[in-house]
Amino acid sequence: QIQLVQSGPELKKPGESLKISCKASGYTFTDYAMQWVKQAPGKGLQYMGWINTQTGKPTYADDFKERFVFSLETSASTAYLQINNLKNEDTATYFCARGLDLGTWGQGASVTVSS
Amino acid sequence: DVVMTQTPPSLSVAIGQSVSISCKSSQSLVYSDGKTYLHWLLQSPGRSPKRLIYQVSNLGSGVPDRFSGTGSQKDFTLKISRVEAEDLGVYYCAQTTHFPLTFGSGTKLEIK
């Protein structure tokens, strides 16, 4: 079955970096774009941007143009979200989602930033 | 950015009742290919979002036909017939016609 499996929870200090993975299975990875969505604790869904899985080109929403990097390891059917220079407000759950129709979502990766 | 206005913010319903959730967009969601990329998601407590309906009215795989979506242009509705206990959670509309993708603020469905 089609699945997106994300990496586990992270506890980081301000200023550190992290990289979240999203491994796809059950379909051809390059057939669908990968979206990234942030959900702060108790809040709604905030769109971060997407990566073209055929070309590797990332496109970021305005709030995520600095410190955030989308990348791919196509041979492993895996997308990555890297966050640099972590801030307290990056504390959230981060989801990957498949395609323009948001058909499949990862289980979410919890990130806590605290000194 | 396209603003998605979702109402009501919360609902409390008894098992077996029917409910409707409204989602209005600040711009038409019809894309240049003629399709309308308006979708409905359910986030059950402690879970990731799950897509229920895509492109206004198409039922996602495995989604019960108690769920239905209607609408066009800027005005959309999700209807749940015969609510069941497993339907509780937060419902979001989402548009993927325009970049950036945007979501409604959510409707929390509680079971009486």
- The three-state secondary structure class of A104 is coil
* pLDDT tens digits along A33-68: 999 999 999 999 999 999 999 999 999 999 999 999
* pLDDT for res A68: 98
Please give the Cα distance from A100 to A59 (Å, whole number).
14
Instruction: Please choose, from the candidates B81, B85, B104, the residue with its C-alpha nearest in 3D space to the C-alpha of residue B29.
Output: B104
Counting residues of chain B whose pLDDT is more than 70, the rounded percentage is 100
Tell me the CA distances in angstroms from A49 to B2, B81, B101, one per residue in order.
15, 34, 8
Nearest chain B CA: its distance from A61 CA (Å): 6
Please give the Cα distance from A24 to A21 (Å, whole number).
10
> Residues B35-48: what's their mean pLDDT?
97
CB contact under 8 A, A106 and B48: yes
Q: A49 — contact with chain B (CB < 8 Å)?
A: yes
- Kindly state the tokens that stand for B44: 């059950």
> For residue B9, is the peptide bond before it cis, meaning its omega torsion is within 30 degrees of 0?
no
* pLDDT tens digits along B57-96: 999 999 999 999 999 999 999 999 999 999 999 999 999 9
Contact indicator for B29, B74 with CB cutoff of 8 Å: yes
Residues of B in contact with A44 (CB under 8 A): 92, 103-106
DSSP structure class, residue B30: B
Residues of B in contact with A59 (CB under 8 A): 99
* pLDDT for res A46: 98
Confidence band (pLDDT; 50, 70, 90) for B42? very high
Please give the Cα distance from A68 to A38 (Å, whole number).
12
Q: A46 — contact with chain B (CB < 8 Å)?
A: yes
Residues of B in contact with A95 (CB under 8 A): 48-49
* pLDDT for res A27: 97
Average pLDDT, rounded, for chain B: 97
Please give the Cα distance from B83 to A28 (Å, whole number).
36
Q: In sequence order, which residues have a C-beta less than 8 Å from that of residue B108 and are 6 or more positions away?
A: B9, B10, B11, B89, B90, B91
Residues of A in contact with B103 (CB under 8 A): 44-47
Tell me the CA distances in angstroms from A83 to A48, A60, B103, one per residue in order.
12, 13, 22
Confidence band (pLDDT; 50, 70, 90) for A82? very high
CB contact under 8 A, B48 and A105: yes
Please give the Cα distance from A13 to A17 (Å, whole number).
9
The nearest alpha carbon in chain B to A93 belongs to: B48
